[in-house]
Every structure is written in C-alpha cells, then in structure tokens.
Amino acid sequence: MNEQSIKKKIVVKDTTKVFGKNMKRAVQLLKEGKSKGDILKATGATVGVKNVTFDVYDGEIFVIMGLSGSGKSTLVRMLNRLIDPTVGQILLDGEDIVQMNKEQLREVRRKKIGMVFQNFALFPHKTIVENTEYGLEIQGVPKDQRRKKAVESLKLVGLAGYEDQYPNQLSGGMQQRVGLARALANDPDILLMDEAFSALDPLIRKDMQNELLQLHSDMGKTFIFITHDLDEALRIGDRIALMKDGEIVQIGTPEEILMSPSNEYVERFVEDVDLAKVLTAGHIMKQADTVQVDRGPRVALRLMKQLGISSIYVVDKSNRLMGAVTAQDAVAASETDKSLEEVLISNLPMISPDTVLTELFDVVSTASIPVAVISEDRKLLGIIIRGALIGALSGDNQFINNDGIIEPADQMNTEVV
C-alpha cells in the first residue's frame, strides 16, 4: 500500500490516557519507560492507553484488536473524545480534536463521527424510527425530513417495516442493525464500532460481518472496528492494530499479522488461528510448468521428461489456461501427428487465488492432476500441490508464498512463460 497517495483520515500521535489521580506523575513515569504495573504501584493511576501512534486511511476498515483490558475501548473513545486523552494529538482531517472546545466537538460528533455500541445502547422509550432519527433530531432537523432519512437508513440495514416497534421487541441482531442505522442516518465520514458484533450469536455475527463489508464497499466510509475476536478482525479488517496493555503491538494487514508476527505475543495470539480459513490458494500455489499450445506434442513430451512429471499444463500465447496433457496422450499424439489441442483434457479443476483452503480440500483430494489456480481472465497463476496444502496447514512457512502476499498476476506470467 502506498502510504503517500492515500489520504490520512485520522492521525493519532503519541496519545496516552491515564485514569485516576496523580496523572502528571504517571505521565512522567511513562516517559521514563516504567511499565503499567510499576506506575500503578507508584501512583495508583491506571494507564489505559500508552503512547499510541497510528494513522487511519480514508475509506478503510481499520480494526483495533486486543483482549479485554488492552485499552482498545478507551482508545476508540478518545477518537470522539468520549474519553479525553491525557496527552497526545488526534487529528481528524488535519484538525486536532483534543484542542476543540465543547461546541466544535459537538459539531464533529454530529456530522463526522458516528458510533455503534457493543450492547446496542438503543433508547428503550423510543420506537425504532425515533431511535434512528435521534442524531438528526438533536441537530434540529425538521421532523418530516429526519423521518425520511431515518426510514432510508433503516431500509439500508434491512429493517424496513419495523419502524414503529420498540427495541426490546427485536432480536439482538436486529437491535444492532438499528444501532448501525442510527449511526448511518447522520451520514458521518467515520463510523466507530465498539465490539459491535460481540454480543451476537456466531451465525448472526457472520451475517452482520458480511453486510458490514457490503455496506462499506457501497458507501466508502471509514470504519474503525473494535473487536477481541481475531477471526472477526482477520475477516473484515483492511488493516489491524493489535493491542496489549494499552500499547499497539503491531499494525498491519491480516496477512502481515498472521505470517510475520512482530513479537512473541502476536505469535501466541495468532497461533490458534485456523489457517485453513485464512490462507488462500494464492498463498500456497506453486509455479506451474506449462507448454504453449502451438509448440506441439513433442515439445510437451520433452518438457515432461526433463522435469520428471507425468502431465503438463497447456496455455495459449497470453498464458491463458487451455487444459492439460498427460505424457501418455502426448506420446499418442506425436505418433499420430495430432496437434496438442486435440488431445487436451479441458475439464480441469480450476479455482481462483482467493479461495480459502477449507474450500480446497474437496477439489484437491479428488483431482488426478494438480489443481490449477487461474485469474478472472483464465490466466494460469499457479498450481496447488497436495504436499504444499498439508505443509501450509501445519504452519510451515516454506510452503507459504512471500509471507502471504500474493504476487501480481502479470509478474507471475513472465516467470512461467
């Protein structure tokens, strides 16, 4: 990702939050490099967030992940100053919200930052539509106008028709949709989601994650998502910040976090991840041996002999996969002077590089020749060998490509041809 070309939506610089008395002394001790436990002993103050620095890019889903007590909820609340940072700078579109007065801050909360809460935080005495229009109501938007927006927003999250119900008449999943609709009704640039799906059943949670991704790609807003669930973080995050004891331990894409943990903590954290659900075909595919179709069966046969393999993939000039040919067929073709095209096996198992490993097992186990990985325009990217699949599942890095970063298709082509 080219950091220069992407607009920074939020910039957090050296931000610290200390709870309790003796804040100045605690900050001083922090500067001296004392640990959270030492500071608690010395001053009685709790360090919630410790000297955190990161950027959030415009339009990305930025996940802040950590176990309970890691300071992630405190951190997200500092972004709209529900909690005031003790020291530090938080720039939102270049403006420091820490320096804002009450009125400016209110304006930012009303127009720029929406928030969705873990336990939904719907107002029990208001109907669904009244809940949804709350943000607009307090801005003094006329009733029919805000009602219209609220209804639209509810439609967006799939809750049309529930306008006049009360929150406790809805299931948890639906209540959180209302929470989402309420935040979206204000049309903010940034959406803070504090453990938004943590209170939901696993199945509903997955649905919500999918819908969130859909909404995100439709609306292009910046989402900051807090979770304690690594699977969730890996699923929805464009980038993930991993927190521990108030500090950010590592920031990176899901692949970076999984494949090159920056320290032992992250490593331990990710070791239980079901790799089969995270790794994709792109991660484990190997270079394919190919022959261009117009070279004829004899060339194909020679290549197979050289490489010691019993079948080879056949591609056209632009590396589009046409099929495969076995040594047996190639011999037969060369004897009868047939072209390669005539003896091709064309109904090969083919998959896209985004296919996760769990979906691969079936195809790989039944295929007689290695499964081909192709791009959308049928270009051959690589092949899946059974050994590599098993090796990758055991977490062996030598079977995983380039720390998990998929190489661009055209680069791969030049290597193959």
Partner 1 sequence: MNELLPRLPFADWIDNGVDWLVSTFGSVLDGIANVLGGVVEGAVTVLDMVPSILLAIIFALIAYFISTRKIALFTLIGLLFIDYLGYWYPMLQMLALVLTSVFLAVVIGIPIGIWGSQKESVRKVVNPLLDLMQTMPAFVYLIPAIFFFNIGVVPGVVASVIFAMPPTIRLTMLGIEQVPKDLIEATEAFGSTAGQRLMKIQIPLAKPTIMAGVNQSIMLALSMVVIASMVGAPGLGEEVYRSVTQLKTGVGVETGVSIVIVAIILDRITQQAGVRKKKIGGKLS
Instruction: Give 169 or 318: the residue with its C-beta nearer to partner 1.
Output: 169
Which residue among 9, 17, 72, 109 contacts partner 1 (CB under 8 A)? 109
- In the chain, the amino acid numbered 189 is D
Does residue 33 belong to the site contacting partner 1 (CB under 8 A)?
no
Does residue 68 belong to the site contacting partner 1 (CB under 8 A)?
no
What's the rounded Cα separation, in Å, for the pair 245 and 263? 14
Q: How far is the CB of 105 from partner 1 (least distance, A)?
A: 8
Rule CB under 8 A: which of 278-307 touch partner 1? none
Does residue 223 belong to the site contacting partner 1 (CB under 8 A)?
no
Q: How far is the CB of 153 from partner 1 (least distance, A)?
A: 13
Instruction: Give 102 or 317: the residue with its C-beta nearer to partner 1.
Output: 102
Instruction: Give 106 or 295: the residue with its C-beta nearer to partner 1.
Output: 106
Q: Which of 289, 281, 257 is nearest to 270 (CA)?
A: 257
What's the rounded Cα separation, in Å, for the pair 392 and 395? 5
What's the rounded Cα separation, in Å, for the pair 86 and 105? 17
Which residue among 113, 178, 190, 212 contacts partner 1 (CB under 8 A)? 113
Stretch that binds partner 1, among 46-54, 166-174, 229-237, 255-263 (CB under 8 A): 166-174
Q: How far is the CB of 93 from partner 1 (least distance, A)?
A: 17
Q: How far is the CB of 111 from partner 1 (least distance, A)?
A: 8
Crossing angle for the helix pair 143-156 and 172-185, to the nearest 10 degrees:
130
Q: Are 324 and 314 in contact (CB under 8 A)?
A: yes
Does residue 19 belong to the site contacting partner 1 (CB under 8 A)?
no
Residue with tokens 């000297």: 51
Which residue among 21, 37, 44, 123 contacts partner 1 (CB under 8 A)? 123
Question: Cβ atoms within 10 A of the Cβ of 388, count?
Answer: 22
Q: Are 230 and 269 in contact (CB under 8 A)?
A: yes
Q: Are 136 and 149 in contact (CB under 8 A)?
A: yes
Q: How far is the CB of 213 from partner 1 (least distance, A)?
A: 23
Residue 72 CB partners (closer than 8 Å, separation 6+): 64, 65, 66, 226, 228, 243
Which residue among 35, 169, 328, 365 contacts partner 1 (CB under 8 A)? 169
Q: How far is the CB of 363 from partner 1 (least distance, A)?
A: 47
Instruction: Give 37 or 161: the residue with its C-beta nearer to partner 1.
Output: 161
Which residue among 19, 54, 57, 166 contacts partner 1 (CB under 8 A)? 166
Q: C-alpha distances in angstroms, 302 versus 29, 105, 318, 330? A: 72, 73, 22, 10
Quick one: CA torsion of 21, 23, 28, 31, rounded to 10 degrees? 120
Convert residues 179-218 into a mask of x (bound to partner 1 by CB under 8 A) and - (unbound): ---x---x-----x--------------------------
Query: 313: which strand partners?
Result: 290, 324
Does residue 137 belong to the site contacting partner 1 (CB under 8 A)?
yes
Q: Are 286 and 385 in contact (CB under 8 A)?
A: yes
Helices (H) and strands (E) in the chain, counts: 20, 16
Stretch that binds partner 1, among 164-172, 233-241, 283-291, 391-399 (CB under 8 A): 164-172
- Sites of contact with partner 1 (CB under 8 A): 80, 82, 105-110, 113-115, 117-119, 121, 123-125, 134-135, 137-139, 166, 168-169, 182, 186, 192
